[in-house]
Every structure is written in C-alpha cells, then in structure tokens.
A and B are shown apart, each in its own frame.
Chain A
Amino acid sequence: MLRSWNCLKVEEQYLFNLFYMATFKLDITREHCPMTFVKTKIELSKLKSGDVLEVLLTEGEPLQNVPKSSTEQGFKVLEISHVEGLVHKVLIQK
C-alpha cells in the first residue's frame, strides 16, 4: 500500500484524500487572536491521521499564521485558495 501510494503523483494523492479521507469544516472568519489558531489546533487534534480540515479564515494574521503554525507542527497544508472578499480557504491534512 505504501509503495503504491508513493507511486502516485501529488495531484493523485490529493484527489485520493479528497474522496477517501473525511473532510471536516471550521469557520474562524469571526474569531480573533489567539482563538483563530487555538480553534484550528483543537479541531485538528480531534481528527484522525489523514483526515482533512477545511478552514475558512480572513486575510491578515489568520491567513499568515494558521497555515504556518500548522506546517510547523507537522500537518500538511494541501491548498490555500481565495473564496470571496477577505475570506480564504485553507485545506490542512492531519
């Protein structure tokens, strides 16, 4: 399984994760420091390895720090995309 997983391209791994791993959602667009990354960390700690957390956040400190701190703690940031206005979406895999 591990060998065949490594043979997949990054895009294929991403698609696999999208279909087979559970995706959870968290909206922190109304939160302020430090609850933006506190809530993200708490939510991530509840997930199983491989699960994906979709975080909706605003520009500025949350967008700058949530993906950064997640990466620093060993989580994988799969995607950062603009949703609308000041809102962005970050996909983080545990």
Chain B
Amino acid sequence: MDEKKDLDKGQCGRRDFLSRLGCAVAGGATALAAGVALAPEGQAAVAAKPNAPKIPGYDWGNHHYAFGVDATKCIGCLRCVEACKTENEVAGDAHHFRTWVERYAHVEGEDKVRIDSQADPVNIAASDSEGQYRFANRYKDVKVDKAFFVPKLCNHCTHPACVQVCPTGATYKTKDGFVVIDHTYCIGCQYCVQACPYGARFFNPVTRVTDKCTWCYHRVTKGLQPACVEVCPVGARIFGDLNDKQSSISQFVANNRVAVLKPETGNAPNVFYVGIDKDVE
C-alpha cells in the first residue's frame, strides 16, 4: 500500500502546487478569481516537471500495461474476487467490487441467456456470507446447453469516460496505462460512477470517495502481478507489459483474436477478452 501512497503523492504535484498557492491567496482574493488565475500556472507546472510516481527503480515512461481474460479457462471459483477484496481492503459486502465474475447459462428451450454474478442474492445465500463468494448450483434441475464464466474489472480505457467527466482531475490516466484515483482529492460527486459504461466504479461508503480496480498498481510497480492474476488457479487472467513483446499479455494479444467490451462507446478498453459470447458486454 506504500507505493499507492507514493503514487498519490507523485501524481499530486500539480494539485499540491495549486493547493499551496490556493491557501496563500485564499485570504486575499475571492475564490472565483483565484480559481481563474491559478489554473494556467498549474498547467505550466505540469509541463515543466512531469509528475512521475516516486517509486524506486520504476520509470512509468517505459511501460504500457494491459490485461487479458481468457474466458474459456475461467472456472468461476471466485478466488480472484476474494483476493481483490483482501488485497485492496474493499468492503466485504455484495455491493462493492473492484472485480467480479459473471456466469452465462443458455438453458434448453429458452431464448434469453441467464446471467448472474457472485453478488446475486441466490449466490450470496449459497455462500451464507457477503464476504465469501461462490456460484450456487442453481441450474442443476435444467439442461444447460452452453455455459461459461466471464471475469470483469476496470478496463483502464485509453479514452476513459470517467476521467473525462471528473470535475477536479482526481481521477486520471497514468503514462503506463492505468486509470487511478487520488483518494485525497476526490470530492465524491460520483459523476465518474455514472459515466463508466462497465459499472466498474463504486462509491466507497467508508472513505466517501470513488473507488475501483487499479490493476494493483502498488504491486505491479514492485514487479508483482495483480492479486487476482496471482491467485487465479487456471491462468484465465493475464497481465503484463505490451512494450515487452515476450510478455504473456503481448503473446496473448498476438496469438488470439481478442475482443473488448462495448467498443461502440469509444472508450477503447485495455482489457482484452478471448472466448466471450455476443451477450457479454
């Protein structure tokens, strides 16, 4: 978690600068006038000194990370969901997830696919806990023609709608390909929650700011894999650096016909899927 704080500090350069200046002028000038006068200077400061995170041995200019999901491998064990909750201190309930898994079941004689996630009340009842997850065996009495699992998480889009709408710039795109949130700067308006077409963001009721998957930035910059990738027993989740042509993600994208979710939004997601069906979005 230390790296996470470092990232926040590193990214905060513009805002630190501005808040210091803001404090200095607050006594004398009106809030409105100060806001207008300060913004251009703040942007100039960014140009002069790029806000690279202060992480030893890590240069964010050398990386371009991406995520892969091989849905044909996922067995719906949900270890990824539990690992994520533990690693990132996500609230242990059925309404706040940085990552989740969807189950698609085509039942014989039905036109519409049946979809649920681990958060479905039936599945929560089966696990008897909002903190531990499993898929209930709810289709045991019907004939299932086709069924598969699809892990979901933040797509860390190239053109993220959430970043576009953030009124303060508290959420932003990093040079190495992550969309992250400065929890010390977010005002908690939840406009980004509305703007994300994938439902990847949520309002953290404890910190009272927006939260979402960071691809475990604090682990990745230490040379580790995201927690969900680390615990996946079947290798359904792939993470790596696209700048490294030998990395698992580069190989995954090069050797498969990959798809992204909701491409029509123009968000250009960076989670690449293999083995999903037309109903998945």
Whether both chains belong to one complex is answered with: no
A residues near B (Cβ < 8 Å) are none
